[in-house]
Structure 1
Amino acid sequence: MSTLNYKHLHYFWVVAQEGSITRAAERLGVAVQTISGQLSLLERQLGKALFNSQGRGLVLSDAGRLALGYADQIFQLGEALVDAIQSGDSESTLRLRAGISDGIPKLLAYRLLSSVTAMPNDVRLICDEDEFEDLLADLALHKLDVVLTDRPAPVGGNLKVFNTRLGDFATGLFGTTELVERYTEGFPHSLNGAPLLLPSRHHALRGRIDRWLEKHHLRPKLTGEFEDNALLNTFGRGGLGLFPAPLALAGQIAVQLDARPLGPMDGVSEQIYAISNERRIRHPAIEVLCAASAQAAATPGV
């Protein structure tokens, strides 16, 4: 089989991003005929059509979508190479690109990832926050090395990943001093009518909290539901309601959110998973992250 021409592949990559040969030609500063001809050569070499016509534009074929996944990896690695050299990273620098699901506590993500920054290597940590599905897509394209989230990736299909359960972090309710003093007596039954801030029903923790409330026949006043945990904490810090958080982070929550624990929710825990690409040799920073997680779950916050 002949060697792949990366100029042809780059033209294909830009056309896929622009959705039009004309726009791709304008972006690259070359003639439309040049791109069209080189796309034809690439399709002939691969033996598959990469685009289908749709109106005045182009859409990827099944083969095109597969090729785009590989092209993304190739050219993003090229960009990373340039960035690494221009930024002065030495050969000993270890880079970890971590995706953080918007539903997990950011203080908890920090506590887990701090084990990576404490490694003896020169570590460069690159973090991105997004929704679960988008992070898995970036992981599949090798834009990320690991995803921290509250649920495992679905099994089966074309996505080959490792699900590593980092631990169960016992969860309690927190609030401002005023709210904690108001609802301490008789907890948890004091929660009837109490203002409560919860993650949305898209998050795994929400189902566990709902079951705990039902078990104790509690009817709090649901003041707000949030997709983003950081926004939930901001409202909690403002005193608009009690909010759930890992008890192991009580110290950090007191300092950063000016909030105190009201009481535990027995049987409710924040489950954190590390999802990584399936590789024969795993990223050394991911191994450190997984090894440190058990201690983080067991050790109280300071």
Structure 2
Amino acid sequence: MTMTFHTSGDTMSSGVANAAIPAATGARIVIVDDDPGVRELLTEFLVDNGFGAEAVANGAALRDRLDRRDCDLIVLDIMMPGEDGLSILRSLMHVEDGPGIIMFSAISSEIDRIVALEMGADDYILKPSSPREIMARIRSVLRRRASTAARGTTTGIGNAGAAPTDCYAFAGWSFDARRRKLTAPDGVIVAVTETEYRMLAIFLRDPQIVHSREDLADLTGRDVPSCNDRTIDVHVSRLRRKLAVNGGDEIIRTVRNRGYLFLPRVEARAA
């Protein structure tokens, strides 16, 4: 879909951008957009600011790229001819430990934004948007993912002194914090998104207490402007559905006007 970046006085040159924003650490970013102008401008801007950025035109090219090497984050356009961005997003949700995903769209309705987030996207950016804002959103998602990975590999998610291989058991489920592997009572591995992982970590760390939406937003690191109570509700709803397989007992309860309560007792186990 053809669009024009809002620059708001920003320049695409590396000198000005780097002076205002610290350089990145070489994170690998893939832009998926059918508009060659968007691909060129955004890739150049990100490369100038220290990212390992490249761009492809469609889902087939993205899959070919991912078959050859991994990436840290994908900026994915929704409105593309042929296979659209939501279809691509759906296919990527089956990839364990997959990249972060930011949807990029001219569709401004709340429903479309919620659908994308509910399917597993980490963020949703409206077109047109400045390269500087896009980069800030990218940095935000990468920070959250890095912070979660650090917690999972150094202290676990259940208590500050836990070993990195700790697992958690609750209501027949098990969760391997190091491998980010959620296993249902019947032994089936259930895929979770980055945000679901962070949210489950919060519930397992402090079960049987009410977590407000504001606390969940803060603790999951969702510090982007699009994060609000409705966004948190969407992520909790999605996690709740995954934990309700086979008609199991209620695990996450909504507490009216207060937030969410994780009901089961949680047992920490060494893996």
After TM superposition, the score normalised by the length of structure 2 is 0.25
1 or 2, which has the higher strand percentage?
1
The structure that has the greater radius of gyration is 1
1 or 2, which has the higher helix percentage?
1
Q: Which has the higher contact order (CA 8 A, sep 6+)?
A: 1
